[in-house]
Amino acid sequence: MARVAVGGTFDPIHDGHISLLRRAYELGRDGDVIIGLTSDEMARESRTRQVRDFKVRERNLREVVRRCFGIEDAKIIKIEDQCGSSIYEDFDYIVVSPETLPMAKKINRLREKRNLKPLEISVIEYQLAEDHVRISSTRITEGEIDKHGRLLND
């Protein structure tokens, strides 16, 4: 039974996040998927845009996981830093986007220093909007695209 780590701010949740979660649940079938959700402090320190409170993001994430994957009790933990529990807990996989691949490699270096087995890194492809630019929460909050990557008219 595989144990899978995946993480993010998940605000607003878009098709790229769904792809990330889909891969995590595929790898974690019959195992555990642990979703690390960034704390308010972490989410806000690295962003120039507004981010909803942790409880709202957690509730929205649980609803998406229930609706899209039929998981009634998603395992969501609060993470206070970019590595979360992935540097000291037993995991088999970490699922990342190309943007967060360098962090997954750093996690494996830190695990090695702790004599833990490296995580198998599964990188999903970016989900592209209609304009062939990747879907991102920033583009959505700026009103450029919707959560599915459809261009919005001004």
Kindly report, residue by residue over 103-132, the tens digit of the pLDDT. Answer: 999 999 999 999 999 999 999 999 999 999
Token readout for 90 is 């037993």
Determine, yes or no, domain membership for 135.
Answer: no
Residue 148 in domain: no
* Residue 149, domain member (yes or no): no
Q: How confident is the model at residue 154 (pLDDT cuts 50, 70, 90)?
A: low
Place of tokens 């009103």: 143
Domain count, the chain: 1
CATH number at residue 8: 3.40.50.620
Q: State whether the Cα torsion 107-9-121-85 is positive or negative.
A: positive
Residue keyed to tokens 């957690």: 58
119 located within any domain: yes
* Assigned domain for 141 exists: no
In a domain, 136, yes or no: no
Do 120 and 96 touch, CB atoms closer than 8 A?
no
Q: Does residue 23 belong to any structural domain of this protein? A: yes
Q: Is the pLDDT of residue 27 over 80?
A: yes
Residue 46, amino acid: S
- Residue 47: which pLDDT band, with cuts at 50, 70 and 90? low
Distance CA 6, CA 35 (A): 5
Residue 152 lies in a domain: no
Domain that holds residue 28: 3-126
